Amino acid sequence: MDYAKTIKVVGGGSGRRCGGQGDLLSGALATFYTWALQHGMEPDVPHDDRAMIACFAACRLTRECNARGFLKKGRGMVCSDMIEEIPYVFRDQFELH
């Protein structure tokens, strides 16, 4: 039996696409995927969703860092402005409160 699953990340696109944004995305993906692989698969689940979950998380992190950086800097935003937002986005989006 083939298994197919999709996840849609809702929300707008980037306010400004800047050089280095793809590097941020790929670094986030590598980090989330490593964490997911270290966690292991859930018991009694016949499919491995860890790669898809890591992709979703990396996309969410990058989009939100872009949105917050753009709010502060507008069209003058550069990737380092996005990077500065990582700890705050991570806290708000991924940590349990």
Give 11-60 pLDDT, tens digit per residue.
Answer: 777 788 889 999 999 999 999 999 999 987 777 777 788 999 999 999 99
**Does 8 fall in a domain?**
no
Close Cβ partners of 59 (under 8 Å, ≥ 6 residues apart): 9, 25
Query: What is the number of structural domains in the chain?
Result: 1
Residue at 89 is within a domain: yes
The answer to whether position 34 is within a domain reads yes
Q: Whole-angstrom Cα distance, residue 67 to residue 1?
A: 40
What pLDDT, on the 0 to 100 scale, is given for residue 39?
Answer: 82
The pLDDT, as a whole number, for residue 3 is 63
In a domain, 70, yes or no: yes
User: Does a structural domain hold residue 67?
Assistant: yes
Q: How confident is the model at residue 2 (pLDDT cuts 50, 70, 90)?
A: low
Say if 6 falls within a structural domain.
Answer: no
Packing angle of the helix pair 86-94, 50-73 (nearest 10 deg) = 130
* Residue 69 resides in a domain: yes
- Within-domain flag for 4: no
Domain extent, residue 69, equals 21-39+49-94
